[in-house]
Amino acid sequence: MPSGLAAAVFQRARARSVSAVRLPPQSEESATERKMHGHVGKTAAARVNGAGAGEGRSAARVNGTGAGEGRSAGTLSTVEPMHPTRQCLWTATSDGHPTLVDGAWLSRIGCAEGELSELVQAADRDRVRSARSPEPPAPYTVDYRLRGNDGATIAVSESGAPRFAADGTLEGWFGACVATDAESRGAPAGGPILPPHYPLLVWHTDVDGQFDFFNDTWLEFTGRTLEEELGRGWMEGIHPDDRERCVAACEQAVAAHEPFEVEFRFRRRDGQYRWVVDWGLPFDDDEGRHAGYTGSIQDVTAQFRATAVREGQNRFLEQVAMGRPLVEAITTLTDAVERYGEGSFASVLILDEDGRTLRNLAAPSLPPEYVAAIDGFEAGPCAGSCGTAVYERRLVIVEDIATDPLWENFRDTALAHGLRACWSCPITFGGDRVLGSFAIYYTEPRRPSSREVELIESMARIAGIAIQRSREEAALRVSEEQLRQAQKMEAVGRLAAGIAHDFNNVLVVVQGHAELMLDGLDPEADERLDLNQIIRASKRAAKLTQQLLAFGRKQILQLRVLDLNEVIRGVEAMLAGTIREDIELVISLDSELGRVRADPGQIEQVLLNLTVNASDAMPDGGKLEIATRNIEVGHGAALGMDGLVRQGPGALMTVSDSGCGMDRETAQHAFDPFFTTKGPGKGTGLGLSMVYGVVKQSGGDVAVDSAPGAGTTVTIFLPHTSATSEESTGIEALPPAPDGSETILLVEDDESVRQLTVRGLESYGYTVLEARHGREGLAICRRHPGPIDLMITDIVMPEMGGFEVADQAAAIRPEMRVLYVTGYTDLIAGERSDRVAGDALLQKPFTPSQLVTRVRKLIEA
């Protein structure tokens, strides 16, 4: 034995050499089980600090659960034998520290009790010391002589072998010492060699391999008689799933007369299967011939369970660190708990966003019907173990579901699925936030041990860390996606608005020249038809640019305080006329709906676009519902495709259909300009883009919720307003004005637009001063000798914009009025929005007649 064992010896059988025995793998066995079954070239690791067969007896253990529990590491407890024996089986830690000692062995073989190393005859000591320390660790056998009480020499043969952990590190030693020439030997070869109440389950075979001895501890453990166990009757206690593999492994070792170490599940007298490790060592008779095997079984269930939990927690932490799905990681925890408590079912429920509803996250072994039945129940004071634990934020132990009042509302469901006990611990994070519950079920009434309470509380704690981390990561992903979406929509919006702005300048020229030509033609001229077609086409193009501007949030809105319900009622008849008769239109309005600030005309257009889209999504008919309601948006509440709605009260308007719906990928692009799911010629792809822009420009948000076959719902949020007046920041069409004679300064950087505008104004009798940019316009203001009644300036120009031109011109000619012209309102905000209120703003594209009407109105104001 290793040098540390010189202070004590252990009772076991003689072994000549040791070789590892590995059980064949089983497809369904866990990593923990495979680890405990051993590895080729190494003796399987058997933990010695767990409950053994002699649990509750004077089993000598270090840091175990037997009589040695509570002693410091290295403290030994001796085992008093019932009768003499010449053999001593021993085990030790990797550094030679003994774990079980038979302190009377030396006296039984005729030696004085004391240090074994001091009793070894001097001539043998170096050889023994060298044999006990092989490098690398390997099986060894050494013969030496002990000094007896009366000066006699006692021959001893010692064999030992290393035990390795799964990772290859040395875990301990085991072996045997036998007095081969002791005066006190009284047990014949092949006879009983160990005390009947030895703390391990001890067995013995004859030369033919028939089991002919089991000690009392064995019989007490199994609850069977000696007659039932003899021969091979004891094998009935091996778990059916382990029996074939166990027997094969033992037979392999026996055929070679080699030691073996095997782990399997063994039935205890109460019917429970316990994990055990079985050591077997061959022994010889006095003439050196093989005489049989002797060995023992130790209960290592506690170690197995602890290992299963520890490995499960380690795998769980690895999965969390690697970003594996939450369900996968939590299932690893539930699996570990179920391995710890055989016959148990672990379950994890998480709280829904409402903070009341519990949803199933992981319950791999519970009956699926039971899991489905309790999924979605509310936490409360009498809501079973889990609902109560969450509601009261405490550990709830229900030993018998059949009688506990907490299960009154769920008792029949639980009992119908064979569940009788349930212990549940709230899953918390940060000490005050409850995330869900961790529960363990049993099919029999059961009270948890203190260790089981510690287990469920520990599992709940680390589950809380993973759940909270998962939620934070999910929220971060949503925020990142919202930011990416917002950046994309902003970039596309700027592009669309820029295109629309330039296109508006082109349309001004096309429409203006067509109108001027039309005014100069004879009423019966054939060219009038062509010119009218040009004007109609340019107006259609102007509508497209308005939709692009709406998406880019750069159109000019006539913002007013309005009631969405009134807008919906006002267009209800029109909407009903745009859908087919096989589509049912349902209007559900909140009579207490708060007022919002928006452009009523644009809201009508929004409703029309959504109605048309919904109708197209229901080719075989269906239901279209338009509804409104008030909502109080909490801090950070997500609604839109690209951000967070601002906190506070608002109005929700939803347009829902029962149509074909969209998948997630399609829905993510629903608001992109020119994106359409309709066939060629059936849509421009700007309808939802216009909806997006109008809502955003009105200070609201919009979202789409859809799934294939489940229809589509578009939700629009607009913040409430406390204003009551019907202010307008836009314009309305005015009647034609008579000719004028005033002087007008035109500041326009686009040459085509400038030339057309000059021509149109001059045709109505106005004198026009042209300026190609802002600085030139200011120079004209300074040097023109006569009055300038009105300045017309484009808002967006290079170097100097229209607002800056107007500000500097006002210092030169304070009496001069200003008409702003623009294709979009990118720079109209804050105080500037007041400067373009009423008639002071004209939106491109416009015709010469529209321009002179507005000019006349401003001059006469």
DSSP code for 716: E
Query: How far apart (Å, rounded) are the C-alpha atoms in residues 70 and 176?
Result: 27
C-alpha distances (whole Å) from 557 to each of 325, 529, 560 are: 47, 33, 9
Strand 817-822 versus strand 841-843 pairing type: parallel
| Residue 550 pLDDT | 53
Residue 336 CA from chain centroid, whole number: 19
Q: Which of 532, 571, 622, 511 is nearest to 845 (CA)?
A: 511
Which residue's structure tokens are 């309709």? 678
379 SS3 class: coil
Q: Which of 550, 543, 589 is nearest to 569 (CA)?
A: 589
Helix (H) or strand (E) holding 695: helix 687-697
540 SS3 class: helix
586 SS3 class: strand
Within 10 angstroms of residue 11's Cβ, the number of other Cβ atoms is 27
Specify the higher pLDDT residue, 229 or 847: 229
Query: How far apart (Å, rounded) are the C-alpha atoms in residues 602 and 556?
Result: 10
| Residue 555 pLDDT | 53
Which residue's structure tokens are 């969450």? 390
391 near 357, Cβ under 8 Å? no
736 SS3 class: coil
Query: How far apart (Å, rounded) are the C-alpha atoms in residues 159 and 14?
Result: 7
How does DSSP assign 439-496, residue by residue? EEEESS-----HHHHHHHHHHHHHHHHHHHHHHHHHHHHHHHHHHHHHHHHHHHHHHH
Q: Which of 285, 7, 2 is nearest to 142 (CA)?
A: 2
Backbone angles phi, psi at 720, to 5 degrees: -65, 155
713 SS3 class: strand
Specify the higher pLDDT residue, 2 or 202: 202
Query: How far apart (Å, rounded) are the C-alpha atoms in residues 86 and 562?
Result: 104
pLDDT band for position 39 (cuts 50, 70, 90): very low
Within 10 angstroms of residue 501's Cβ, the number of other Cβ atoms is 20
Query: How far apart (Å, rounded) are the C-alpha atoms in residues 249 and 218?
Result: 21
316 SS3 class: helix
| Residue 303 pLDDT | 81
Asked whether the predicted pLDDT for residue 797 surpasses 80, the reply is yes
Which residue's structure tokens are 């363990």? 440
Q: Which of 366, 344, 331, 326 is nearest to 444 (CA)?
A: 344
Q: Which domains does the chain have, with CATH numbers?
A: 3-299 (3.30.450.20), 305-476 (3.30.450.40), 560-719 (3.30.565.10), 743-860 (3.40.50.2300)
| Residue 830 pLDDT | 45
283 near 178, Cβ under 8 Å? yes
Query: How far apart (Å, rounded) are the C-alpha atoms in residues 16 and 140?
Result: 8
In sequence order, what are the beta bridge partners of 436?
A: 350, 427
The burial of 808, by beta-carbon neighbours within 10 Å (0-12 exposed, 13-18 middle, 19 or more buried), is given as middle
Query: How far apart (Å, rounded) are the C-alpha atoms in residues 438 and 135?
Result: 48
Most confident region among 290-299, 308-317, 520-529, 707-716 by mean pLDDT: 707-716
Using one digit for the tens of pLDDT, what is the confidence trace for 336-391? 888 888 789 999 999 988 788 999 999 999 999 999 999 999 999 989 999 999 99
Rg of the chain's alpha carbons, rounded to an integer? Answer: 46
Q: What is the chain's percent helix, strand, coil content, to nearest 5?
A: 35, 25, 40
Within 10 angstroms of residue 669's Cβ, the number of other Cβ atoms is 14
Question: Which of the residue ranges 2-16, 121-135, 794-808 would you say has the lowest mean pLDDT?
Answer: 2-16
Which residue's structure tokens are 């119908």? 416
Query: How far apart (Å, rounded) are the C-alpha atoms in residues 725 and 365?
Result: 64
Query: How far apart (Å, rounded) are the C-alpha atoms in residues 544 and 499?
Result: 11
∠172-174-179 over CA atoms, to 5°?
145
Helix (H) or strand (E) holding 794: strand 790-794
708 near 661, Cβ under 8 Å? yes
Q: Which of 594, 598, 830, 833 is nearest to 699 (CA)?
A: 598
Using one digit for the tens of pLDDT, what is the confidence trace for 546-583? 655 554 445 555 678 889 999 898 888 878 877 888 88
Q: Which of 822, 818, 821 is nearest to 807 (CA)?
A: 818
Q: What is the mean pLDDT of residues 764-783?
A: 94
Asked whether the predicted pLDDT for residue 4 surpasses 70, the reply is no
Question: Which of the residue ranges 306-320, 352-366, 513-527 would you say has the lowest mean pLDDT?
Answer: 513-527
| Residue 838 pLDDT | 66
Query: How far apart (Å, rounded) are the C-alpha atoms in residues 758 and 754?
Result: 6
Angle between helices 301-321 and 326-340 (to 10 degrees): 170
Helix (H) or strand (E) holding 434: strand 433-442
Using one digit for the tens of pLDDT, what is the confidence trace for 805-820? 999 999 999 999 999 9
Q: Report the amino acid identity of residue 31.
A: A
Query: How far apart (Å, rounded) are the C-alpha atoms in residues 387 and 407?
Result: 10
Q: Is the pTM of this model over 0.85?
A: no
| Residue 236 pLDDT | 93
In sequence order, what are the beta bridge partners of 560?
A: 598
Asked whether the predicted pLDDT for residue 188 surpasses 60, the reply is no
Q: What is the mean pLDDT of residues 116-126?
A: 84
691 near 610, Cβ under 8 Å? yes
Q: Which of 499, 626, 478 is nearest to 552 (CA)?
A: 499
pLDDT band for position 734 (cuts 50, 70, 90): very low
Residue 399 CA from chain centroid, whole number: 32
Query: How far apart (Å, rounded) are the C-alpha atoms in residues 520 and 699?
Result: 46
The burial of 834, by beta-carbon neighbours within 10 Å (0-12 exposed, 13-18 middle, 19 or more buried), is given as exposed
Specify the higher pLDDT residue, 280 or 427: 427
Sheet of strand 433-442: strand arrangement: 377-378, 357-362, 345-351, 433-442, 421-429, 396-398
| Neighbouring residues of 734: CB distance < 8 A, sequence distance ≥ 6 | 839, 853, 854, 857
Query: How far apart (Å, rounded) are the C-alpha atoms in residues 794 and 844?
Result: 10
Q: Report the amino acid identity of residue 536.
A: R
Which residue's structure tokens are 């023109």? 784
Q: What is the mean pLDDT of residues 665-690?
A: 61
